[in-house]
Amino acid sequence: MAHSISIDGVDRHVGAARSRVDGPAKVTGLAKYAGEFDAPDLSHGYVVSSAIAKGRITAIDASAAEAVPGVVKVFTHENRPRTAWLDYNYQDQVAPPGSPFRPLYDDKVHYSGQPVALVVAEDFDRARYAASLLRIGYEAEAPETDLTRQQDLAYVPPKKRSGIKPPPGARGDADGAFDAAPVRLREDYRQAPEHHNPMEPHASTVVWEGDGRFTVYDKIQGVSNSQSYLMAVFGLKKDDVRVISPYLGGGFGSGLRPQYQLFLAMMAAQVLERSVRVVLTRDQMFSFTYRPDVLQTVAVAAAEDGRLQSVRHDAISGTSRFEDYQEVVVNWSGILYECENVSLNYKLAQIDTFTPGDMRAPGAVTGVFALEMAMDELAYATGQDPIALRLRNYTETDHTEDKPISSKELRACYAQGAERFGWQARNPESRSMRDGKELVGWGMATGVWEALMQKSSAQAVLTADGRLEIGNSTADLGTGTYTILTQIGADTLGLAMEDVTVKLGDTSLAEAPLAGGSWTAASSGTAAMRACREIAAQVFTLARGMENSPLANVDFERVAFRGGRIEVTDDPSRSVTLIDAMRAGGLDRIEAMGSAESDPGQMKKFSHYTHSAIFAEVKVDEELGQVRVTRIVSAIAAGKILNPKTARSQILGGVVMGIGSALHEESMLDHRLGRFMNHNLGEYHVPVNADIYDIDVIFVDEEDQANPMGVKGLGEIGIVGTAAAIANAVYHATGKRIRHLPITIDKVL
Ligand code: MOS
C-alpha cells in the first residue's frame, strides 16, 4: 500500500478518525497558554498605545503613574535600556524586506496604536490604572492610510521576500489577445483589511531565572523565531533563553513574527531582574499585523465557447512605510487554468499603518477571490455552467513554471462536490430560485494552495516500559499536530496511542520550522516517522539478537510492529515484545533523531498544490439585505488524509473564516485619524454560531509523491475560494455583483 506509515504496510491509526489527544487538557483548563504561566514575584506590564498615527512624542509625564502604589517602573523611549536593539538590523525568520519596527526605539510614531510606553506594576489592574494616568504630548502629522490615494505611487518591490514567489514573466500577449477576443470582461475587486483575532490574545511571560537567564512563554507559531529574535536584540546567548509555547489559542499567521509584547516583557525583565508578564488587550490585537487591503483588476477574455484567450491580473497591495510585505496574490491566475496569454502584475503602495502580515492562506484568499469571481462572470457571459467553464479550461500543468502538477484530483472535487450539493438542479438564471420571501442563490468556486515541505527534525525515545515520546519545537496552533504525530508514532512502532506522548513548542526539543504554510504535517510528520523507524530498526536488531530469538534469520522487511510486539508478518506466532527486546539488550531507552526536507529532484520535476471545489447556498432577505450562508460543500484534494476528524475540523475552520471574509470581517480605517476604528469584537464582526449552518466536507482520493507520506497539508486550503463561492451565490440569488468584500447589507440593498 502506497504511503503507509507502519513497517508492515498496514496503518492502524493513521488514516482513521481520532479525537484530539490534547482535547481533555484544553477543555479542562490543564493546557496552559503563554499568559497563564506563573513565576515567583511575577510583575505585570500594561502597554500604552499611541493616540496619533504619525509624528513624534514631545513629552511623557509619568509622575502620576509612578506615584500609584504598586507601580514598579514606567518604560518609555526615553529610559529604555541601551542594551535593547543591540543588533539594530535584525530581521526575524519571516520578516519581509525592510527595517523592522522597533518598540520604544525613539520618539517617532509610525502608526496608530504603536506601543509608546510599558507600565509595570505588582498586578495587572494597578498597571492598567497607572497607564491611564500617563500624560503624553505629541506633535502630529497628517497620516495617509487610504490605499486608493497611494496607488499612483505603487512600485514593484525591489527586494523579494524570502519564500514568496514574485509573479512569473508574461506569457503570450495578454493585452493583444484580450482586444481580439469575442468575450471580454474587466473588473475591479477588493477585499477589506482583516485582523486575525485568535481567541487567545498575544502574551509573553518572561521568567527571570537569575544570572541573566530566562525562560520565556510566548505566543508564537515557532519558538525558535522568538529565541533568535531575543538573542539578537538583547545580546543573549542561546543557553540564556529557552522559549516555550506548548499551546496556542489560534494563530492564523498572527503568531509567525515575534510581536512587540515579547520585546517589552524581555526588556522589563532584564532591567528589573524579575519576571514580567505582558498580555495584550483585545483592542491591542488590532495594533499590529493584519491582512492587507489589495486593489485588484482582473481582465479575462474568451472564445464564444468559453475557452480562455487572455488572463490579466493586476494587484496593488498595501504595506507599511518601513517594510515591503509581500504575499502571492496574482500568480494563482496563471496556475489554475489553461491559457496562452497571461500577464500577472503585483505592486506595493505604502500607507501609515503597521506592516501587514500573513493571515490564513495569505494572498490566495485575496487573489483567488478575484479570479474565481471573474470566472463566474465569464460563465454568465458565455452562457456556460460555471463547472463546465472550469473543466473547459482545466490544466494538469503549472504553466508559470512549465512543470506538471504532481497530482491534481480537482476534477473529482468538482464532480463529488456537485453531486453532494445537488448542483444539477440549479437554474442558472439569477433571481430564479426562492424559498418563501428569501431569494436563494447557488454559487461555486475553485480553491488552490501550495503543498509545501520545510526542513525539519524530530526526536523519539522508546523507554523500557514500552512507551514512546516524540517531539520537536514546532507549534500546534490548534490544528491537530499533537494528534497526527501520536498516530504516526503509534503506527510506526505498533503501539497504542495511549503509549505515545508528543512534546512540542520548546526550544530544547529538536529543531523544526514555524508552524505555517500548511507544511507541518508533511515536514514534522515525516521527521517523526523517520525517527520512529530508526528506533524500530534498532529494537528489531536487539530482538533478533536475543538468545533463541523467534526472529532469528528474519529480515526487517518481513516483520510487523503491532500490539507492542515485533512479529513475523506471515507467521505471527513468532514474535518478541518491544519490552523484552530492550530488556535483553540491557537498554532503558532507545533514542533516535529523524529529519525531513523536500526532495530536490521531485521539486525540480513537479509543482505541488492542494485543490478544492467549494459550493455555497445563500438565502437573501431582499427587504433587509441580510445574507445567510445556509449550505457549504467543500471538496478537498490534499493527498493522504492522516486523520479525517482533525482534517475536517481544519476545513470547517477555514470555511467559517471564509464566510467571515465574505460577509463580516472588515477592519475600518478612519483616514483622518489613520486608525482602525472597530478594534473590538463588538464592532469587528467574526461569524458566530448563529451565522453558521450546514458545512459538508469531502476529501477526494489523491495519491501524491511529494513526500514519503503523500500528505499535502490542510491548514489553509479550506478558506481559499470560499468567499468567491459565496459572492457568486449572492449574484445568482440577487443579480447583483458585489466585488468589494465584505458583502454587507448596504451593498446588497
Ligand atoms: Mo499561516 S498564515 O502560514 O500561519
148-160 residue pLDDT tens:
999 999 999 999 9
Cβ of residue 360 lying under 6 Å from some atom of ligand 1: yes
Q: What is the separation, in whole angstroms, between the first and last Cα of the chain?
A: 55
Cβ of residue 744 lying under 6 Å from some atom of ligand 1: no
Q: Is the pLDDT of residue 314 over 70?
A: yes
In this structure, CATH architecture of domain 455-596:
2-Layer Sandwich (3.30)
Query: Which H helix or E strand runs over 127?
Result: helix 124-131
> Which residue lies with its CA nearest to atom 4 of ligand 1?
253
330-369 residue pLDDT tens:
999 999 999 999 999 999 999 999 999 999 999 999 999 9
Cβ of residue 253 lying under 6 Å from some atom of ligand 1: yes
In three-state form (DSSP H/G/I as H, E/B as E, the rest C), the secondary structure along 176-206 is HHHHHCCEEEEEEEEECCECCCCCCCCEEEE
ipTM metric:
0.98
Cβ of residue 654 lying under 6 Å from some atom of ligand 1: no
Domain 34-142+200-286 has CATH 3.30.450.20: no
Cβ of residue 254 lying under 6 Å from some atom of ligand 1: no
Of the candidates 570, 534, 532, which has an alpha carbon nearest to the alpha carbon of residue 551?
570
CATH topology of domain 361-372+404-452+598-749: Aldehyde Oxidoreductase; domain 4 (3.30.365)
- The arithmetic mean of pLDDT across residues 223-234, rounded, is 96
Examine the residue annotation and report whether 716 is marked as an active-site residue of this protein.
yes
- 665: which residues sit within 8 A by CB, 6+ positions away? 192, 194, 195, 684, 685, 686, 742
Q: Answer for the pair 634, 698: CB distance below 8 angstroms, yes or no.
A: yes
Spatial separation of the C-alpha atoms in residues 71 and 67, rounded to whole Å: 7
Helix, strand, or coil (residue 1): coil
- The Å distance, Cα 423 to ligand 1 centre, comes to 32
Cβ of residue 475 lying under 6 Å from some atom of ligand 1: no
Helix/strand/coil percent split, the chain, to 5: 30, 30, 45
| pTM to 2 decimal places | 0.98
Residue 256 Cα: closest atom of ligand 1: 4
412-466 residue pLDDT tens:
999 999 999 999 999 999 999 999 999 999 999 999 999 999 999 999 999 999 9
Q: How would residue 231 be classed by pLDDT, with cut points 50, 70 and 90?
A: very high
Q: Answer for the pair 66, 74: CB distance below 8 angstroms, yes or no.
A: yes
Q: Is the pLDDT of residue 598 over 90?
A: yes
Around Cβ 676, how many Cβ atoms within 10 Å? 24
**Kindly report the CA angle at 183 between 177 and 186, in degrees rounded to 5?**
80
- The Å distance, Cα 437 to ligand 1 centre, comes to 41
- The Å distance, Cα 506 to ligand 1 centre, comes to 19
Cβ of residue 222 lying under 6 Å from some atom of ligand 1: no
- The Å distance, Cα 251 to ligand 1 centre, comes to 8
Where along the chain do its domains lie?
A: 34-142+200-286, 361-372+404-452+598-749, 455-596
Q: Grid coordinates 510585505 are at which residue?
A: 325
The confidence score (pLDDT) of residue 2 equals: 63
627-685 residue pLDDT tens:
999 999 999 999 999 999 999 999 999 999 999 999 999 999 999 999 999 999 999 99
Residue 361 Cα: closest atom of ligand 1: 2
- The Å distance, Cα 662 to ligand 1 centre, comes to 19
Residue 254 Cα: closest atom of ligand 1: 4
Q: Is the pLDDT of residue 1 over 60?
A: no
Q: Which of 256, 474, 481, 719 to mutate to test the pocket of ligand 1 (most atoms within 8 A of CB)?
A: 256
Residue 255 Cα: closest atom of ligand 1: 4
The confidence score (pLDDT) of residue 87 equals: 83
Of the candidates 537, 542, 659, 667, which has an alpha carbon nearest to the alpha carbon of residue 592?
537
Q: Give the residues across from 615 on adjacent strands.
A: 444, 633
The confidence score (pLDDT) of residue 371 equals: 98
Percent of the chain exceeding pLDDT 90 equals: 98
Query: CATH topology of 361-372+404-452+598-749 equal to that of 455-596?
Result: yes
By residue count, the chain amounts to 749
Cβ of residue 478 lying under 6 Å from some atom of ligand 1: no
Among 323, 377, 665, 716, the active-site one is: 716
- 195: which residues sit within 8 A by CB, 6+ positions away? 285, 286, 290, 291, 665, 667, 676, 679, 684
